[in-house]
């Protein structure tokens, strides 16, 4: 019984620490994760396109972080984040081909349904 309680507590702490680390990822780490996800969902991305997307994702992650840390009103925060996402999508659209952009949007839609 004591071992079971210890295992449950350890599992809870591990899950809690994972959640905290995800919240504290720096913009570069977040951008690398997002770029890898895009690369997984979109075929034919060149290394040049990948580096451009990474730069866009870094700017986006910094903007989201800043919005969340400086805007107290949740609705205003949500509006700012939506504008940042729209801007990011437009920049990515300029880099990708029409077919690649469709794949990108499909991947983004799938990510939103996961949450």
Tokens found for residue 84: 């940042």
Can you give the pLDDT of all 115 residues of the chain as single tens digits? 555 554 455 545 555 544 444 456 899 999 999 999 999 999 999 999 999 999 999 999 999 999 999 999 999 999 999 999 999 999 999 999 999 999 999 999 888 787 6
- Between CA 51 and CA 113 the distance in angstroms is 27
- Between CA 59 and CA 43 the distance in angstroms is 23
- Between CA 1 and CA 58 the distance in angstroms is 48
pTM: 0.75
Q: What residue segments make up the domains of the chain, in order of their start?
A: 26-114
């Amino acid at each position: 019984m004591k071992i079971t309680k210890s295992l449950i507590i350890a599992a809870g702490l591990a899950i809690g620490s994972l959640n905290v680390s995800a919240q504290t990822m720096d913009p570069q780490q977040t951008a690398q994760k997002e770029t890898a996800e895009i690369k997984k969902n979109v075929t034919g991305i060149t290394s040049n396109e990948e580096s451009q997307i990474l730069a866009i994702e870094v700017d986006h992650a910094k903007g989201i972080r800043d919005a969340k840390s400086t805007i107290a009103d949740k609705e205003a925060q949500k509006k700012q984040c939506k504008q940042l996402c729209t801007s990011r999508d437009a920049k990515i659209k300029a880099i990708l081909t029409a077919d690649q952009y469709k794949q990108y949007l499909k991947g983004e839609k799938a990510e939103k349904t996961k949450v």
